[in-house]
Amino acid sequence: MKALFQTSEDWTGMILRLTLGLVIFPHGAQKLLGWYGGFGFSGTMGFFTESMHLPWIIGFLVIIGEFFGSLGLLAGLLTRFTAASLSVIMLGAILTTHLPYGFFMNWFGKQQGEGYEYHLLAIGTGLALLVTGGGRWSLDRAIAERV
């Protein structure tokens, strides 16, 4: 239990988790709440299950993982678990959707879809958090001191 929460007073973990949390939050809010031009929970679930033919549990876990996981990262709660989960979600996005479009995002609208460079950055950040933990000012650190 302690290994899950243990982290240092290092700034690195804090910077990584705040960055990943801030980047993932709008995507989770699009999927769950329909904010930022998203389709909300029902629309996203419909897309995942009907268009992408994913099992409903995968769609549900992606939506919940991105929204609540980003909030957890911002607070530094369950940082390692969330970072690993988001890395798996991003790997799934690459393999199911973005791989055919190559590495680069569609910066200039010249390709049919988005590449996977964003997802790869999120995976790298998540893996670094898996190693470092939440760092300074994380709830994980406070929990580890009590366990």
Q: Label residue 23 exposed, middle or buried (CB < 10 Å: 0-12, 13-18, 19+).
A: middle
- Residue pair 141/105 in contact by the 8 Å Cβ criterion: no
| pTM tops 0.85, yes or no | yes
Dump strand ranges (E) for the chain.
Answer: none
16-34 pLDDT per residue, tens: 999 999 999 999 999 999 9
Cα–Cα distance measured from residue 127 to residue 86, given in angstroms and rounded to the nearest whole number: 9
69-118 pLDDT per residue, tens: 999 999 999 999 999 999 999 999 999 999 999 999 888 888 889 999 99
State the pLDDT confidence band at 1, using cuts at 50, 70 and 90. Answer: confident
The residue written with tokens 């969330």 in the block is 82
